[in-house]
Amino acid sequence: MKVLDFPLTKITIAFIMGLLVSYYWLPGFLVTTVSVVSIVILFSIFYFASKKNKKHLVFFGISTYLLSFWLGIISLLLHTNTLQQSHYSHYQKGFEKPHTMSFTLVEKLKGNVYNDRYVAVLNPIENSFYQGKIIVNIEKDSASNRLIIGNTIQTKATLQHLGTVKNPYQFDYGTYLANKQIYAQVFISKSEIRINKKVNRTIWFYAAKLHSRIIYNLTKAGLNKTEMNVAMALILGQQQEISPETLKDYQYSGATHVLSVSGLHVGYIMLFILFLLKPIPNTRKGSFIKLITILVALGLFGIISGLSPPVLRSVVMFSFLAIGNHLRRGSNIYHTLLVSVLLILLFEPYFLFDAGFQLSYIALFSILWIQPLLKEIWKPTTKILTYLWEALTISFAAQIGTFPICLYYFHQFPSLFFVTNILILPVLSFTMIAGIVVLLISVFTGCPIIFIQIFEKSIYLLNTIIHYIASFDFFVIRDIRFNFYYLLSYYLLIITSVIWFKKPTYSKLIATMLSIVFVQLAYISTKKEVENKSELIVYHIKKKTIITERTGQNITLFANDTLLGKDSLQKNISSYLVGSFGILKSIRTIKNIFFFNSKKIFLIDSSGVYKKAISPDVLLLIQSPKINLDRVLLDLNPKIVVSDGSNSYSIQKRWEISCSKRKIPFHSTGEKGFYKLN
């Protein structure tokens, strides 16, 4: 694998390893500073020593990789806002009671039934200088929303920590936002806010204003709302207004990547710009004009699209390709890819932990590395067959590379992905070109009706194809059990297999066989781990009480309403069944007293009835029982009190005070998430 021989590859890998170590270890600034200074001194010594004696080149190389490693560590530390004393996470009073605060809106998120949602930058709280990004939830009402990106809002509110994972193996939204340096949110109504007349005219303001202008002109020209929402996703990556049904169709057909602006979209943009610049001669001056135009256009497109990780990766990579072309140098695509990775992670190290960033790079690398191998399997004799075969091999190469990580994150696989990509590629190519033309015109004025109709019909055709393929939902394999052991072993198998197929040797065959052994070991270790697992979990589900008892792979579900049926109850614990490799064996009605691993669990429901002197290890309160908890604690003397999602918030607050008086731990699933007993 020649790419591993590139010094830049090793430097990038060392830098990424530094980011990973810093993310999970989070060393102090003193340790990091001393280490970096020491490595810089060693680097300098070996650099000058290698100039005099080539034998020292090895030590110079090692010091270079160590320097890259520690730069990765310090880069992530510098971009972790909570390490700064001015960050609002250090202002505990802001989380305890309402304070007068102001914030500037920088990004509009997808709202829900109850709230419009924004990302905002917090300005000083009262007289205290604290800052950072937060989520702002503004309650919806009958009045129209007058807020725009750039508005500074003043209100009185209490900062709220982002919730923990409520149930096992669910998507951790709090960690997802923390990787974007967002650690709190506020909930306010429109009547509680005062909007500053002066708008903060940042780059986000102009991007949002441009979005609004495009939408206004497209609406005025008569573009159907459904098609317009898809158009904004296709061209600009704005998915906020796409209906759940349309999004589901794209997921089930394996075409979600179409709605996420990435290399495909940026490639179309660059081709379109080159087409427009074709009249300019390829002289030294003309080439420079083309380069500047391409770089400016790609930069503007990246800003308008929201600077998401896939867009950044694509814009940076194509910018390097354009620069290489201008300098008349044969740019190695792997070098370009590595430089874009290093540059992006240097300025935004937390992108490394973004699933979209990971998928986009893995997909592109797989296409570059695996597609030439697949392409050699068959040599079509006609242009149409060649086109179809190239489209198919590109699709398969991307899927081979992203298959393990997709299963790890999403636990499902659309098996008709290759059919989707072949059918939609011609339509998508035309739609993208037509969309670029329509949106460019809409930036300045209303678009001619003939262009709008052509664009609308092309999107309608694209959606129809996607919907038809997605209708065969039995081809979507769901709830695939896949853990981190599988992820590593499968990637090892893919890498060794491709290396062997490219240039077969005996040693490479041995490596491939060993990787198959590692896959088997992953299965064996997972099975052993599952069989030795024993746990009881109390879930957080509003107005319901659900408990699971697990012994090995077998899971028994206890519910206060078994009339809902197996399928309905299983949906509530589906993520747990998949993540734990468990099988739901039976469903039973909850009893007031039961035992688990020699521990006694006693349950008090809405009846409020209990027997004295039971002395349970765990007291579980459900359905808001009307009890005097102080008296109950005195009678039962439990070691811990657990309250699930079937209880009202106000009652739980009173219970928490009662437990605090007697120094008994109180676990509310609404605040702390599910309760687990091993």
Q: What is the pLDDT of residue 308?
A: 63
- Of 78, 102, 125, the residue at which a domain comes to its end is 78
546 pLDDT band, cuts 50/70/90, is very high
Q: What is the DSSP string of 30-74?
A: HHHHHHHHHHHHHHHHHHHHHHH-GGGHHHHHHHHHHHHHHHHHH
Residue 310: per-residue pLDDT: 66
- Is residue 408 within 8 Å of 486, Cβ to Cβ? yes
Look up residue 533 and give its two tokens.
């697992």
Average pLDDT over residues 634-650: 93
354 occurs within a structural domain: no
What is the SS3 string spanning 75-106?
HHHHCCHHHCCCEHHHCCHHHHCCEEEEEEEE
Are 505 and 438 in the same domain? no
Statement: residue 109 has pLDDT above 90: no
% residues pLDDT > 70 (the chain): 96
Give the closest residue to 394 by CA, choosing from 428, 431, 369. 369
Mean pLDDT (the chain, rounded): 87
Check whether residue 398 and residue 456 sit in a common domain.
Answer: no
Q: How far apart are CA 319 and CA 325, in angstroms?
A: 10
- Give the residue-averaged pLDDT of 323-330: 67
Greater pLDDT, 440 or 362? 362
Please tell me whether residues 96 and 164 are part of one structural domain. yes
- Domain ends where: 469, 500, 530? 530
pLDDT at site 169:
93
Q: Report the side by side order of strands in the sheet with 593-596.
A: 593-596, 599-604, 618-621, 640-643, 666-668
Q: Which of 78, 113, 136 is the last residue of a domain?
A: 78
Assess whether 400 and 462 both reside in one domain.
no
**pLDDT at site 306:** 63
End-to-end CA distance of the chain: 46
User: pLDDT band at 219, cuts 50/70/90?
Assistant: confident
Cα–Cα distance measured from residue 490 to residue 484, given in angstroms and rounded to the nearest whole number = 10
| Token pair belonging to 8 | 């830049």
Q: Is pLDDT of 1 > 70?
A: no
Clarify whether residues 192 and 223 are in a common domain. Answer: no
Residue 415 has pLDDT above 90, yes or no: no
Segments in 376-448 forming alpha helices (H): 383-410, 417-444
Going by pLDDT thresholds of 50, 70 and 90, the confidence category of residue 2 is low
Instruction: Name the most confidently modeled range: 281-290, 358-367, 556-565.
Output: 358-367
- Choice among 139-153, 232-246, 417-431, 478-492 with the minimum mean pLDDT: 232-246
Could you report the per-residue pLDDT of 39-68, keeping only the tens digit for each? 999 989 988 888 888 877 888 889 999 999
Specify whether 564 is located in the same domain as 649. Answer: yes
d(CA 624, CA 621): 7
Kindly give the interhelix angle for 333-347 and 309-326, rounded to the nearest 10 degrees. Answer: 130
Do residue 589 and residue 654 come from a single domain? yes
* Assigned domain for 302 exists: no
Same domain, residue pair 155 and 71: no
**Residues 551 and 568 occupy one common structural domain:** yes
pLDDT for 309 equals 61
| Range 410-425 average pLDDT | 85
Q: How would residue 522 be classed by pLDDT, with cut points 50, 70 and 90?
A: very high
280 found inside a domain: no
**Which of 223-232, 392-401, 640-649 is modeled with the greatest confidence?**
640-649
Segment among 25-34, 395-404, 548-557, 576-585 with least mean pLDDT: 25-34
Residue 624 scores a pLDDT above 90:
yes
Let me know if residue 611 belongs to a domain.
yes
Is residue 573 located within the same domain as residue 646?
Answer: yes
Under DSSP, the state recorded for 128 is B
Type of residue found at 31: V
Percentage of the residues of the chain whose pLDDT score is greater than 90: 42
Tell me: pLDDT of 618 over 60. yes
Please give the average per-residue pLDDT across 163-181, as a whole number: 91
Give the pLDDT mean for 224-244: 78
Does residue 62 belong to any structural domain of this protein? yes
Residue 403's pLDDT band, with cuts at 50, 70 and 90, is very high
Tokens of 281: 């001669």
* Rounded CA separation 118/244 (Å): 20
Domain total of the chain: 6
Contact 312, 346 (CB under 8 A): no
Instruction: Please tell me the pTM assigned to this model.
Output: 0.88
CA dist 412 and 357 (Å) reads 19
429-446 mean pLDDT? 83
Q: Which of 446, 435, 459, 437 is nearest to 236 (CA)?
A: 435
Torsion angle of the four alpha carbons 55, 61, 62, 68, in this order, in degrees rounded to the nearest 10? 160
Q: Let me know if residue 335 belongs to a domain.
A: no
| Structural contact between residues 477 and 415, judged by C-beta atoms closer than 8 angstroms | yes
610-to-16, 152, 379, 527, 561 alpha-carbon distances in Å: 57, 54, 78, 41, 20
Which pLDDT score is estimated for 328? 61
| pLDDT surpasses 60 at 361 | yes
Q: What is the domain-level CATH number for residue 175?
A: 2.40.50
User: pLDDT digits over 504-519, tens only?
Assistant: 999 999 999 999 999 9
Q: How confident is the model at residue 263 (pLDDT cuts 50, 70, 90)?
A: low
CA 61 – CA 67 distance, rounded (Å): 10
DSSP assigned state of 328: T
pLDDT (average), residues 556-585: 85
Say if CB 115 and CB 164 are below 8 A apart.
no
Q: Is residue 507 one of the residues assigned to a domain? A: yes
Q: Could you give the residue ranges of the DSSP H alpha helices within 412-565?
A: 417-444, 449-470, 484-502, 506-531
Range(s) of the domain holding residue 509: 484-530
Amino acid of residue 96: E
Amino acid occupying residue 505: T
Question: Do 526 and 473 fall within a single domain?
Answer: no
State whether 563 and 648 are in the same domain.
yes
What is the SS3 assignment for 620? Answer: strand
β-strand 132-139 against 182-188: which pairing, if any? parallel
Other CB atoms closer than 10 Å to residue 174's CB: what's the count?
16
- What mean pLDDT is predicted for residues 317-340? 74
Q: What average pLDDT score do residues 276-282 get? A: 82
338 domain-assigned: no
SS3 state of residue 83: helix
pLDDT band with cut points at 50, 70 and 90 for residue 281 = confident
User: What pLDDT score does 4 carry?
Assistant: 62
